[in-house]
Amino acid sequence: MADALDAEHLPASITLPVVITVRNSDLGLNETGRVKRLDHTGLVASLPVAIPDGTVLFSTIDMRTLNATARGLIRVRTQTTMGDGAGFDTFADFVELNDDGKQKIDRLLGNQETPPPPNAGGFISSGAPVGNGRSFATDQIGVQPVYSRTTGKQDYQITPEKKTYFEPSPIRGKAVASNSTKFWGSIGVSGYTVVILAVVALFPQGRYWELFVWDHVAWAVSRTWYWMQNIGNVKLYNNTP
């Protein structure tokens, strides 16, 4: 595979089941594949789609045997096809990987020397316990057992945990209404106000209160207009013009 990828210093090969999910919102990518090689510098994974070289992806590496997940940014270096419909071997370098992710990768590479526990990776094994027994694989991958009733003994199955991750949304600018929107909005508010007043005026009690309010408004406007017209003739107490 190293010759096919035409790349030097490939990461270390791994035998434990590791799943990777890559995302790129600009390209609309959200794909899942299997990791074949992995270390601090990069990885080799089989992905179902072709990705342009140099593309930066947000990756989620699910190390199921450790019940651990590492997240980081990777940049695609090169790809090679595995045949019709078989996907692409993708060689990518880590652009950003925190210390916690590096420690988890070290734990994964260190555990390759020991055989994986039964049912590692969430696959059903013939040696899985039945009845009320507990599964070591269940404790490792962090899922809950599911029991189904049968005529004989209970069947013990494992439901894989669905892991989700949501990328943060970009900051959106403040929405400002246009002048035409403000104009037609004011026209609509005025129209609804007139209609409401007309409906209220259809009832005698409502008509009385409307006339009462309008009478006070007209009186206030008339007094204000009078003082505005005679502002120069105002005399204070015991003052002469």
User: Which pLDDT tens digit goes with each residue over 133-173?
Assistant: 445 554 544 555 454 455 555 444 555 555 555 555 566 66
Q: What was the pLDDT predicted at 191? A: 92
- Cβ count near 89 (within 10 Å): 20
pLDDT in tens, 54-91: 989 999 999 888 888 888 899 999 988 887 777 888 99
Give the C-alpha separation, 94 to 20, whole Å: 13
Residue 108 lies in a domain: yes
Q: Do 132 and 157 belong to one domain?
A: yes
Instruction: Examine the domain organization and report whether 6 and 51 are in the same domain.
Output: yes
Convert the pLDDT of each residue in 161-205 to its tens digit: 555 555 555 666 677 888 899 999 999 999 999 999 888 888 888
Residue 175 falls within a domain, yes or no?
A: no
Rounded Cα distance, 142 and 27, in Å = 32
Mapped onto helix, strand or coil, the DSSP state of residue 103 is helix
Please identify, among 112, 141, 158, the residue that sits at the C-terminal boundary of a domain: 112
In a shared domain, residues 6 and 105: yes
Position 172 in a domain:
no
Residue 102 sits in the same domain as residue 193:
no
DSSP for 134-195? Answer: PPHHHHHHT--EEEE--SSSPEEEE-PPPP---PPPPPPPPP---HHHHHHHHHHHHHHHHH
- Which among 163, 142, 157, 145 is positioned nearest to 67, based on CA atoms? 142
Same-domain status, 17 and 108: yes
- 33 and 79 part of one domain: yes
Confidence of residue 107 (pLDDT cuts 50, 70, 90): confident
Mean pLDDT, to the nearest integer, of 118-140?
A: 47
Residues with Cβ within 8 Å of residue 13, at least 6 apart in sequence: 36, 37
Instruction: State the average pLDDT over residues 86-102.
Output: 88
Q: Under a CB-based contact definition with an 8 Å cutoff, are residues 71 and 101 in contact?
A: yes
Q: Which residue has the higher pLDDT, 18 or 158?
A: 18
| pLDDT for position 200 | 86
H and E: helices and strands count for the chain: 5, 8
Would you say residue 147 lies in a domain? yes
d(CA 153, CA 148): 9
Does 179 fall in a domain?
A: no
Percent of the chain predicted with pLDDT > 70: 67
Assigned domain for 239 exists: no
CATH for 25: 2.40.10.220
Tell whether 100 and 137 lie within a shared domain. Answer: no
- Residue 234 has φ and ψ, to the nearest 5°, of -75, 130
Return the number of other C-beta atoms located less than 10 Å from residue 76's C-beta.
Answer: 21
Alpha-carbon span 114 to 129, nearest angstrom: 22
* Structure-token pair, residue 166: 């949501």
- pLDDT band of residue 225 (cuts 50, 70, 90) is confident
84 and 157 housed in the same domain: no
Structure token digits, residue 89: 């071997």
pLDDT band with cut points at 50, 70 and 90 for residue 5 = low
| Same structural domain, 208 and 137 | no
Which of these three, 48, 83, 112, is where a domain ends?
112
Mean pLDDT of 9-29: 86
Same domain as 26, residue 100: yes
79 and 151 in a single domain? The answer is no
Same-domain status, 158 and 200 = no
Residue 174 maps to a domain: no
Range of the domain at 218: 187-232
Whether residue 59 lies inside any domain: the answer is yes
The contacts of residue 112 (CB under 8 Å, 6+ apart) are: 14, 15, 16
With a cut of 70, say whether residue 2 has pLDDT above it.
no
Question: Domain total for the chain?
Answer: 3
pLDDT at residue 131 tops 70: no
